[in-house]
Structure 1
Amino acid sequence: MSEESRFEELNILKEIAELLNEGTDSKTVLSEVLKKLLHLTGLQTGWIFLIDEKGTHQLAAKEALPPALANHNNQRLCEGDCWCVNRYNSGKLNMATNIIECQRIENAILEKAGNTAGLTHHATVPLRAGNEKVGILNVGSPYKTHFQKEELALLEAVAFQIGTALKRIKLTQREQETALISERNRLARDLHDSVNQLLFSLSLTARAGTELTDADDVKQTFSYIQDLAQEALGEMRGLIWQLKPQGLEIGIVSALCGYAKMLGLTIDTKIEGISSIPGKVEEALWRIGQEALGNCKRHSQVSQVTLFLKISSDSVTMTVQDQGCGFQYNEELEIPSFGLKNMKARTKNLNGNFLLTSKPGHGTEIKVYIPI
């Protein structure tokens, strides 16, 4: 290797290390690192699977996939098992290794699913941080059927850096979420101790003013001020609930029941399953349920609502239903309100499904399914 080539290799390794050390978005980091790694090794194609504790893989990055793998939005990589994922899940993939053949490519050839561009084999490297495994790095090139020890050692070194960076990003995100919750709690306390108390004092002052005067027009003015203060107090309580839901620390159902009571709704709850819900999912369900109950209060023209929560080992389903006036809704058209769009977005962010059913005179049902 010439001195110039050696310098370029070291420079690329430095760029990879900087990306992994400074990046904050895992998918962006993985995509950029994969491009640089392929350039460094002279390989053409690569993809990265992130694999969760249940063995479910997710395509997190890809580069120069042949049509047979890229067709239908990378469906062949996103679905089904293969030899490398099975080895990883069985605990047999602990170091960089040659995979004799790619099962996904082999299936594509058998099914005549598109051009494989000469790709038949790939190297597979587990992504790990210490003893914790997080996924797989796969790289290959057309007609390349074997990887030298030096190649595998380089891939393994970069893969270890990737695994460590992914753990760092995950911990950083967790710290940010904790800081956000802390800030919400602080703001809720400040609103309760300052603005909420001022509105309460204003309401009492207006009431006293009504009792101290005999002039009808002054009485009406003080009465109007009192009504406004009471309305503002109600809005403030709702805002404080949004920031810091009382009861969420002992469960989503308790929090939603308390919020419904605060809105003046009667709620009938049905719960199935006893598995715990991850914090992110519970937070999303709280926000979605809060919006659904608020919509019921504002639009349904009824005060009775049903909450159904079904929890299993791998998913949670929440249904909020009322028998109110309903509205005309076509699922093929765009969701009609910002609140409903926000509920759907929160669900999609957690790879869940959002279903809205409503019809004039037949009430409204919101059903959310989220994998856990």
Structure 2
Amino acid sequence: MKEPRVHELLTLKTIAEALNQSNELSPMLNVVLKQLLELTGLTAGWIFLCDPEMVHLLRGRSGHSGYICVADAGLPPALQMNDKQPMRCGSCWCLDRFHSGRLQHAVNILNCKRLEDAVAHEWGDTEGITHHATVPLRTGDRKIGVLNVAAPGKSHFTEEELALLQSVALQIGGAVERMRLYAGEQRRAELFARLGEFGRELSAAAGADAAARPERLYERAASLIGAHFDWPVAALFEPDGDDFVLRAVCADGCTTAPHARLPRDAAGWLGRAAAARRFVSAAGGDAAALISCGELRPSLPPLSAALAAPVPFAGQPGAGVLLVGDGNAGELHRVDGEVLQAIGKHVAAAVETARLAENRRELARMEERHRLARDLHDSVSQMLFSISMTAKGVESMLSGLPPDLDSSRSAVKDMQSLSHHALKEMRSFIMQLRPQRLEGGLATALKAYGEKLNLTVHVRLGALRELPSAVEDALWRIGQEALNNVCKHAGTGEADIWIELSPDEAVLRITDRGRGIAKRRPSPRRESIGLSTMRERAEALGGQFTLTSAYRKGTQVQAVIPLPPLNESNGLGR
């Protein structure tokens, strides 16, 4: 009776030594499996890992999304067919029992489905193996995988044999858990090292003029995530009222800006990440279901595992979302979620930095305009006024002289008229550089400006909301130029102004019913400075400018500029 017991203890001692000699999971388990077969007299064995985190950490190896064959020894030729494809694909009775919770202890499997399939499809020689024992691998309440062992002609394992296998499985389970924790810490260190590089490059992009606009920064952030991390898919969503807007996607190294909308009530687990301000994981059907939501279908590739973390913008009640996913993994590691949260904070900080930099540049531009307006008023404007007054005085002095000086009087009168006109133009230019305050609203300011040009202005307003200062200033200046063109070129004294401020965009349309653009021109000519300036102002804010004109049917100028989402601090306004 002592000899079997001594053999069992020797087996357990040998296995324990092998389990503590390496930190590489697959080589360690292959060595352990071979030793187990030698000590027990069995000929074939294999180990399936089903723990989602371990499957993710080993996803570079080929395997079914729900499990991976991490070790094998002595497989018959039928199971080695096509680079061991039978061990990588499909399910079997032991895995089905394991996943359903019916595999609690080491058991005899009456026959092996993989071997049955090999016989049915004539994959090769099974070497007389038809049955195997199956032992669950676990540590505490955590289910890790299964251990299968077999021998030719062996269709039954004794209680003593199953008890020994159960003991070995407990040792393997503890070692795999140790390796899981070790691999997790390795991945944590690797990801946080990559996070440092990512953060430095993103901060540099946020401070660069070329990437200053937030929408361009989203694309840059997605591109950097694809470059520094190994997630196949990365996507950034920005909050926009009751929706999310997909601003950038990086998939397989290619970055796009689809601007697809996702209603918040359809966001599901993605929305929970924004609301809970922590990362949320999804796998299987939950991850795949996201792609079927409306406009996202053509923008995101299929996902079988995903993580979502908040992008918490300062001063906004709703957070954006950073999504990463994989089309093959069964589940992404918890460590990935922790790093993803840190990336989301980096992205939020970079976008806020870009917005502040944009505000600083706009303030600097306004200050420069004000300085230039003061200088023009104090120098050129005063000189023109002096010339006008001098010409008027000279004209009065010449009024009582002989008729042969009529030509002189006429020249002085022309000088007075030209100086008066130049002074009027200069004052208009100064007003454009330093416009009147817009507390009354953009429509009121444009109407007042048109009336100063002796135009009859009709204003129509759609939905209203408060405008960012950069957008308001751009529309004000586009409107000024358009009204100037009506006054100078349209040959009419009326203009129509239409303003629509929706949650997504601001639309300014100025129409006249004047002479329009001539039907015939000798040759194509470049766009005028005024028109090109209006176009540049709209496009600088990511908008569009269009000019529509027909001969003797009038001209329409339209500027459409996208708006940031509404929040508590910029709700409905003028």
Name the TM-score class by shorter chain.
0.7 to 0.9
Match of 1:52? 240
Match of 1:238? 428
**Deviation at 1:210?**
2.4
Cα pair 1:241 1:259 within 8 Å, conserved:
no
Cα pair 1:309 1:319 within 8 Å, conserved:
yes
**Deviation at 1:299?**
1.6
Give the Cα separation in 2 of the matches to 1:187 and 1:366: 28
- Secondary structure of residue in 1 paired with 2:439: helix
Give yes or no for the alignment of 1:292 onto 2:482: yes
Which amino acid letter does the alignment assign opposite residue 255 of structure 1?
Answer: A
Deviating more after overlay: 242-251 vs 314-323: 314-323
Match of 2:201? 19
**Deviation at 1:173?**
1.5
Question: Structure 2 matches for 1:198-237, cutoff 5 A?
Answer: 198-213=383-398, 214=401, 215-237=405-427
**Deviation at 1:304?**
2.0
Match of 1:120? 304
In the superposition, relative to structure 1, how do residues 355 and 141 fare at CA in structure 2: closer, same or farther (>3 Å)?
Answer: same
In the superposition, relative to structure 1, how do residues 344 and 35 fare at CA in structure 2: closer, same or farther (>3 Å)?
Answer: closer
Calculate the TM-score normalised by the size of structure 2. 0.54
**Deviation at 1:62?**
2.5
Q: Given the alignment, which residue of 246, 251, 266 partners 2:441?
A: 251
Match of 2:355? 170
Which amino acid letter does the alignment assign opposite residue 60 of structure 1?
Answer: A
Give the Cα separation in 1 of the matches to 2:417 and 2:460: 37
Measured on the aligned residues, the alpha-carbon RMSD in Å equals 3.8
Deviating more after overlay: 352-361 vs 221-230: 352-361
**Deviations 1:12-55 (Å, cap 9, x if unpaired)?**
43322222333232455544444444454422221222223453
- Secondary structure of residue in 2 paired with 1:99: strand
Identical aligned residues as a percent: 27
Calculate the TM-score normalised by the size of structure 1. 0.79
Give yes or no for the alignment of 1:268 onto 2:268: no
Give the Cα separation in 2 of the matches to 1:196 and 1:17: 51
In the superposition, relative to structure 1, how do residues 156 and 182 fare at CA in structure 2: closer, same or farther (>3 Å)?
Answer: same
**Deviation at 1:61?**
4.9
Which amino acid letter does the alignment assign opposite residue 326 of structure 2?
Answer: S
In the superposition, relative to structure 1, how do residues 146 and 280 fare at CA in structure 2: closer, same or farther (>3 Å)?
Answer: same
In the superposition, relative to structure 1, how do residues 115 and 239 fare at CA in structure 2: closer, same or farther (>3 Å)?
Answer: closer
Which amino acid letter does the alignment assign opposite residue 124 of structure 1?
Answer: A
Number of corresponding residues: 358
Q: Given the alignment, which residue of 273, 277, 295 partners 1:94?
A: 277
Give the Cα separation in 1 of the matches to 2:415 and 2:394: 10
Give the Cα separation in 2 of the matches to 1:83 and 1:122: 19
Give the Cα separation in 2 of the matches to 1:274 and 1:155: 37
Q: Given the alignment, which residue of 141, 152, 155 partners 2:340?
A: 155
Cα pair 2:507 2:561 within 8 Å, conserved:
yes
In the superposition, relative to structure 1, how do residues 86 and 290 fare at CA in structure 2: closer, same or farther (>3 Å)?
Answer: farther
- Secondary structure of residue in 2 paired with 1:326: coil
Which amino acid letter does the alignment assign opposite residue 334 of structure 2?
Answer: K
- Secondary structure of residue in 2 paired with 1:126: strand
Match of 2:289? 103
**Deviations 1:119-145 (Å, cap 9, x if unpaired)?**
433211111146745422111233013
**Deviation at 1:199?**
0.8
**Deviations 1:188-246 (Å, cap 9, x if unpaired)?**
22222222111101111122122334434443443333233222212211211211222
List gaps (5 residues or longer) in structure 1.
none
Which amino acid letter does the alignment assign opposite residue 98 of structure 1?
Answer: S
Give the Cα separation in 2 of the matches to 1:21 and 1:314: 27
- Secondary structure of residue in 1 paired with 2:199: helix
In the superposition, relative to structure 1, how do residues 47 and 314 fare at CA in structure 2: closer, same or farther (>3 Å)?
Answer: closer
- Secondary structure of residue in 1 paired with 2:304: coil
Work out which of the two has the higher radius of gyration on C-alpha atoms and give 1 or 2: 2
Give the Cα separation in 2 of the matches to 1:274 and 1:81: 22
Cα pair 1:97 1:124 within 8 Å, conserved:
yes
Give the Cα separation in 2 of the matches to 1:191 and 1:246: 17
